[in-house]
A and B are shown apart, each in its own frame.
Chain A
Amino acid sequence: MRPMLGRLVHDKVALVAALYLLAVVVVALVAPLIVDASLMRSNLRLRHLPPLHVDHGWWYVLGGDALGRSMLARLVVAARTTLAISFATVALSLVIGAAIGLVAGLSNAWWSTAIMRAIDVLMSIPSLLLAMVVLFVIGASPLVVVMILTVTRIPIFARTARSQALEIRERPFVSASRVMGASSLHLLVRHMAPLALPTLFAVAALEFAQVMLAESTLTFLGIGVQPPDVTWGLMVSDGQRYLATAWWSALWPGLVIASIALAATILGNWFQVANDPVLRARSARKSRAPAVESKVASNA
């Protein structure tokens, strides 16, 4: 953990992204403590209050929405729902997808291929279409949104995990372990999972941004999270009706979504590079060790 932290401090862009995400998470966690309930009630006198002045207090620095609620307060409250949905989705699909992929990667048997073909089928269904059908039939709630998004994200993790497992399986230390009489479970837990996880985490960071955007899309289309729950996607959806008269009502939530997605992507890329010795050497070319001798360096 410590070398990772050192590497993060070294990469200024990734550090800024990490700090930004951390700040957003903290805000989301403490939201109920700082946001007064009165700010969430409609106040028609402050309807479409223009932003960037503090005549009505700091909470109205980003303006008011169509019902006169504080934009800033709503953004803070929405952070909780939005991040919870994205995080739950990514965590669930990571666990399920990685398990499927690693188990499928253990063997060349027919069932391993069958699992992967099933995953391919799942992948070929347009996720938005699937989401629309299911949400229309069983009704929208944050839990259903998480489940739908999880199902559509599992294939990516499963395929990544399987390709990692297939590669790791051929390495000599796995053979050595087999020679000791290791069971498949041992190989999975001791060798495959630890080596596959960094890559999967990197994919997860990238997926986090994707999932947030997908959730926003669903909500924007009116089939995702419903009021009184609020997410950034819902705020964009509400605000777009007033774009001509009150541009800020859609701009702020849109900016937050974009910036979080960007930060998560930057962090995901960094994580992948920081965990791969080869990529790390390439990115830090200046401080690269000489790899000129073509043979293995060895002095026992």
Chain B
Amino acid sequence: MLSKTPLLEIDNLVVDFETPGGMFNAVRGISLCLEQGGSHAIIGESGSGKSVTASAIMSLIDTPPGHVRGGDIRFQGHSILSMPRAERRRLYGRHIAMVFQDPAAHLNPVYPVGWQIAEVCRIHGRPASEAKRSAIALMDRVGIGDAARRYHAFPHQFSGGQRQRIMIAMAMALRPELLIADEPTTALDVTVQAQILELIRELQQENGSALLLITHDLGVAADIARTVSVMRRGEFVEEGTVADVFGAPRHSYTRKLLEGRTSSRPQVTTADAELLLDVKDVSIDYGAVRAVSDVSLQLRHNEVLCVVGESGSGKSTIANAILRLREITSGSICYRGADIHKLGRAELGAYHRAVQAVFQDPFGSLNPRMSVFDIICEPWSIQRSVLPKGEWRQRSVELMESVGLTAGDLGKYPSEFSGGQRQRIAIARALALQSEIIVCDEAVSALDMTVQGQIISLLQEVRARMGVALLFITHDLTLVRNFADRVIVMKAGAIVEQGSTEDVFSNPKHGYTRTLLAACPVPDPVVQRERRDAAKRASGGHPAARASARGA
């Protein structure tokens, strides 16, 4: 017998799913070996099979439709797949634990969080009083302040970051040898993400646990993992240490991922271009809460203005106000000098023609019961004067081709398209009225990285060809760098910094901008470690303590 069996071995694992269209090979013979205390990341886009792999380790695959067709998963030399159920149950929670993407969905809303943490201990045979004591200690450890009192609080009383801390407390309750984290920070703001990653790293070191991280974000992988596998269509296309894979990628797909969304920005000078939109001192209240306070911004002809902020910063609220989906409390929004809230009927129609939108959710923004042709023609059916009905067919074909789709796609329905393709349809619809301004509210946030890159370059092309101005709302600062002419950074409803993209990135004046820039992980392990240390030095102290002080 070998003196040292690896902690986790995945041996030629094959997982298939039955679908109406035949068998879908989700995982096609992957192998992986994780040592005691190691940290490994599986990187891939949606549909690559990375989450299926994690589910297979935790026996979370529904059968049917899923089937583990071949291969084996061994934990400390014992095959998980052929283990009796009872033995497997003893393993999960105690020796292998998992943290999921969406802590809101994985915490039971009707039980106090402390009780849920303690449940793990009770299941594995600890007396209730001891379980409660250790749950409080764990909450304290993961940075939930005033743990003894908060033990009785319910999930909805915590923020997203805190809920993820609670999930991590549950996972680490029994000091498992292996922690599986499936997109643990994807639903979180970037500054909170940095804190959560730090917490996972600390706990991993304290307990000597191994970490298997599932992520689509190369920066996150570079931040926390030592070895990495790049997964695509159910197979590992590249494996190795983070430094090797990110430093010298061998496979073209890895290179594509690393290039990601970077594309060079055409130099356009718009400083003296015509002023289209002038937002002056706008405040918006939701009941007693002030969502936006005294925001002013200008959008000029053919300009790309990006508004960056974390959740709750008011960036989408201001976009909705510009689109007239939300009333403003005070201030004014002027389009070509005319206040949009004082327009007559005909002028309002003209305003709606000039300003169009692309929304975040590619699945919600197209009516599922309308054909693509009907969707593209909807603007013309509302604004009758734009295009006579006889030309709808020809113009819609042109629009489809201009966003990289074909005339044949016009007869299909939204459900027949992928997320990226749907966003293309939404862009075609936004272009139908030959608008001057397109408001993109998190228009690429729901898409995979490589698809984000494609949509961004489409938007750039549209801007150059049709001369539209883009108001681009996003939470993702790195996305903006090679795309925006000017950047506005928002926090808690107010603008904290604005300027040309060059200035904001190379010489950020406001502390919050610097925090945001520092919190974005970069896909280079060496640089990322330096950035992390610098950020830690800058803010000082224990990250968990810091977080509890800030209520993250």
Contact = CB atoms under 8 A, between A and B. Distances in A.
Interface of A: 171-173, 175-183, 186, 190-191, 194-195, 277, 284-290, 292-300
B382 A177 contact: yes
B455 A300 contact: yes
Interface string B404-439: 100000000001001111011010010001000000
Nearest to B50: A293
A171 B24 CA distance: 31
A171 B364 contact: yes
Given A294-B182, A300-B419, 19 more contacts: A172-B360, A179-B324, A180-B379, A181-B353, A186-B382, A190-B367, A190-B378, A195-B368, A287-B20, A288-B18, A289-B21, A290-B17, A290-B19, A290-B24, A297-B47, A298-B448, A299-B418, A299-B451, A300-B421
B352 A179 contact: yes
B364 A173 contact: yes
Contacts of B104: none
A182 B382 contact: yes
Interface in B129-169: none
Given A190-B378, A287-B65, A297-B47, A181 B383 contact: yes
18 contacts: A172-B364, A177-B378, A180-B356, A181-B348, A181-B352, A190-B381, A289-B65, A290-B24, A292-B55, A294-B183, A295-B183, A295-B446, A296-B446, A299-B45, A299-B420, A300-B421, A300-B423, A300-B424
A287 B382 contact: no
B323 A179 contact: yes
Range of interface residues on B (Cβ < 8 Å):
35 or more
Given A177-B378, A292-B66, A298 B419 contact: yes
Nearest to A168: B367
A292 B52 contact: yes
A82 to B, nearest CB: 34
Contacts of A195: 367-369
B101 interface: yes
Contacts of A182: 382
B451 A300 contact: yes
Contacts of A277: 415
Nearest to A289: B19
A289 B64 CA distance: 10
A84 to B, nearest CB: 32
A297 B52 CA distance: 14
B447 interface: yes
A297 B447 CA distance: 8
Interface string B4-28: 0000000000000111110010100
Interface in B358-375: 359-370
Contacts of A300: 404, 418-421, 423-424, 447, 451, 454-455
B79 to A, nearest CB: 22
Nearest to A178: B325
A206 B477 CA distance: 53
A292 B63 CA distance: 12
B102 interface: yes
Contact of A172 (B48, B183, B365, B448): B365
Nearest to A171: B364
B334 interface: no
Nearest to A170: B364
A218 B272 CA distance: 79
B275 interface: no
A186 B415 CA distance: 23
Contacts of A186: 381-382
B365 A290 contact: no
Nearest to A174: B367
A283 to B, nearest CB: 13
B22 to A, nearest CB: 10
A296 B20 contact: no
B26 to A, nearest CB: 6
A203 B483 CA distance: 50
Contacts of B379: 180
A278 to B, nearest CB: 12
Contact of A293 (B52, B356, B382): B52
